[in-house]
A and B are shown apart, each in its own frame.
Chain A
Amino acid sequence: MSNENTLSNNENDVSYLEYKGKHSGILGWLLSTDHKRIGLLYLISLSVFLIVGVTFGFLMRLELLTPGRTIMDPQTYNSIFTLHGVIMIFLFVVPGLPAVFGNFFLPILIGARDVAFPRLNLLSWYLYAVGGLLAILSILLPGGPADTGWTFYIPYSVRTNTNVIPALFAAFILGFSSILTGVNFVTTVHRMRAPGMDWFKMPLSVWSLYATAWVQILATPIIGITLLLVAVERIFGVGLFDPALGGDPVLYQHLFWIYSHPAVYIMILPAMGVVSEIIPVFAHRTIFGYRFIAMSSIAIALFGSLVWAHHMFTAGMSDTGQLIFSLLTMIVAIPSAIKVFNWVATLYKGSIDLQPPMLYVLAFIFQFSIGGLTGVMQGVLSVDIQVHDTSFIVAHFHYVMFGGTGFGFFAALHYWFPKMFGKMYNIKLAKRVFWAMFVGFNTLYFPMFIMGWLGMPRRYYDYLPEYQIYHVISTIGSWILVPALFLMFGNFIYALFKGAKVTEKNVWGGETLEWQIATPPVHENFIDIPIVTESPYQYKDNELVLQTQEAK
């Protein structure tokens, strides 16, 4: 009995960072089933891959500075844009927010001590690590890195002699990591909510993680089996997709996008959750339209799963197919628009404090709006025929994936960093870095819209001279954006070692559960499981003002 008491005392007093369980040292991390430690394992590994992906992107921009050869040959360029896509999508943006902040904060936000399946959670990190290593292996093995684009379109991907198989298996294994995280989160949200926390008392980021988790579970197996079939086709010569063997390349595209379009929502939904979480805190008022925001997450997950063939409007589908997929694509814009309007309305009569997380969130709304509106343009059939497979598309999805999810990720990092590590970064520097990121990002990607509409195809190593001006502006953008990114990481790393210590529970004045526990959290988050009686984001201290105003 006394033993147990010491253990529980230990758990109550010591933060998860210092907690000593069965293992110590590095094993205490690599074998830990603590959701917070797993979240940090993800954060470290994702950051490494982000830096690799950014480097490849930076090199591509450098190559495109001038027509003809600038720094590399076409084969290298083709490999680099493939690796940039594979790494960014499968190793950074898809796992992104759920794996890092979902793992760390989902249980805390619903008042639980861990996720439902802690060991499965650790396994999913290991699968991620194995998938990541395979991806790296595919670069290093003889044969050369894959040069198919991240879409692995057939028949090119069964013809090329590069290392497509390791890259496919990397994506396959990463898919399992994603599925396991999804299973874990769905179960956790259903079964582990603190007493009193009914569905409409959940924080909005939990809603979006929950919607995301369902898409992860339902859509990811399709890409798994599809990539496996490509491997079967390549290795055994079975004709499935390759027309030379009697297969259908368009079938491959359907199967690919049945996953990869919903995957876009796997990427953006959690970031929308972060935005919904951060805005009320820094406007210090209740969120506008809680139920609309919550339900729009579900609507996005639902409709987003039914629009995949809008990636194939030039593939020669039937008119009926074009009609349905174009119409559904238009419809899926509505719940996103609802979210944006509700976020902006939440600023109304707030008391707005422009701290770094809020700056990133406001930039998210601006950039996501551009990404979303240009997405609607692409849903318009005749317009899509013009801009499909041009740099317009590249601009669009970078506005959503980077300007949206990426900035959402950075917002989350700035928001929760003090809670996670008990250290504060340099806020002044963080604000300056934000502006550099914002300017760099828009300079980098906006010109791509213009040249895309004018007819600059994507995945082009070389281009006609009339497009050079846009390429030059874009590359200059990368020279602002990339240093800003490294400065941001530098700010965090410096803060980890030398940053001001944070011990107060609630640095930003948030009203969700993570701000009511110790900083950094203790091993099992809550000494006593909280009983939830209120919806989140009440900000009751504002009510008095409202009442006196109404009385007037």
Chain B
Amino acid sequence: MFDGVSNFSQSTDLAFFFTLVVSIFFLVLITVLMIYFVIKYNRKRNPKATNVHHNTALEVTWTVIPTVLVLIMFWLGWTGYLEQSRIPANALTIEVTAQMWKWSFKYPNGKETDSLYVPVNKDVVLNLHSIDVNHAFYVPKFRIKKDVYPNQKRSAWFNATETGSYDIACAEYCGLNHSYMYNKITVMSENEFNAWLNSPAKHPGEILASDTSLIKLPDSAK
């Protein structure tokens, strides 16, 4: 449940965990009280009800406490979001093009791929645009999602904390094969990434085949 692998996963998961705990607390409170009252004040057991009209202290309490709690939640979400919205300078910048129903990625040196390869522990900025309808770039494990529009620029960034291979999904409905607009993002060590980026190989696996002595790949990237 809390298995994010980017620089954002900690703040997002903390916000999620906090809201989840508070939500479960209130849900249990409400449900238990409801069941308790229904049993205790059942018509058979309690044929005559007692009128209780209101209690201002109680009303104030259950207005103020939830207000404070939602403000804390808001703050956790807001600070987490701010981190995501501040695009860092000096990052590896990759141009991402979305179209029905595939992704393509262009690296600073002009190299183009249809799966995304990034170095671990390095800021990566994605400049997103679409050439047809709206899409959304979504990497669940990274806790990032950004809508992608035609003729408009959007940017997202992340810093992957663990090597491996993760899913990229399109999260904005885009027609017939929306659900097949899946791809992979492969996170590898910086050395491996640089070697691949500067080689003619389309996939890192191809380098492995040509020069096994140079690079050792993470299993998941093969």
Contact = CB atoms under 8 A, between A and B. Distances in A.
Interface of A: 74-75, 78, 147-149, 153, 155-156, 159-160, 243-244, 248-250, 283-286, 288-292, 313-316, 319, 322-323, 326-327, 330-331, 333-334, 337-338, 340-342, 344-345, 347-354, 362, 365-366, 369-370, 373-374, 376-377, 379-386, 388-390, 453-455, 457-464, 538-539, 542-543, 545-546, 549
A8 B76 CA distance: 66
B56 to A, nearest CB: 9
Interface in B105-123: none
Chain B, interface residues (CB within 8 Å), range: 35 or more
B164 interface: no
Contacts of B84: 382, 385
A230 B47 CA distance: 60
15 contacts: A159-B133, A288-B53, A289-B54, A292-B54, A330-B74, A345-B55, A352-B46, A366-B34, A377-B19, A380-B74, A380-B77, A382-B8, A383-B77, A385-B12, A457-B171
Contact of B26 (A352, A369, A379, A462): A369
Interface stretch (B90-98, B176-184, B206-214): B176-184
Given A326-B77, A345-B52, 10 more contacts: A147-B175, A156-B133, A347-B33, A349-B41, A373-B26, A381-B78, A382-B76, A385-B12, A385-B84, A459-B173
B151 interface: yes
B49 A539 contact: yes
A385 B74 contact: no
A331 B132 CA distance: 37
A365 B34 contact: yes
A376 B134 contact: no
Is chain A's binding surface mostly helix, strand, loop or mixed? Answer: helix
A351 B147 contact: no
Interface of B: 1, 8, 11-12, 15-16, 19-20, 22-23, 26-27, 30-31, 33-34, 37-38, 41-43, 46-55, 58-59, 62-63, 66-67, 70-71, 73-74, 76-78, 80-82, 84-85, 132-134, 136, 138, 140-141, 143-147, 149-152, 154, 167, 169-180, 182
A202 B186 CA distance: 63
A323 B78 contact: yes
B42 A352 contact: yes
Given A292-B54, A373-B27, A382-B76, A156 B175 contact: yes
B147 A314 contact: yes
A172 to B, nearest CB: 22
A430 to B, nearest CB: 17
Contact of A330 (B73, B132, B133): B73
Given A366-B30, A382-B76, A545-B48, A352 B59 contact: no
Given A243-B152, A330-B70, A330-B71, A351 B77 contact: no
B66 A337 contact: yes
B52 A286 contact: yes
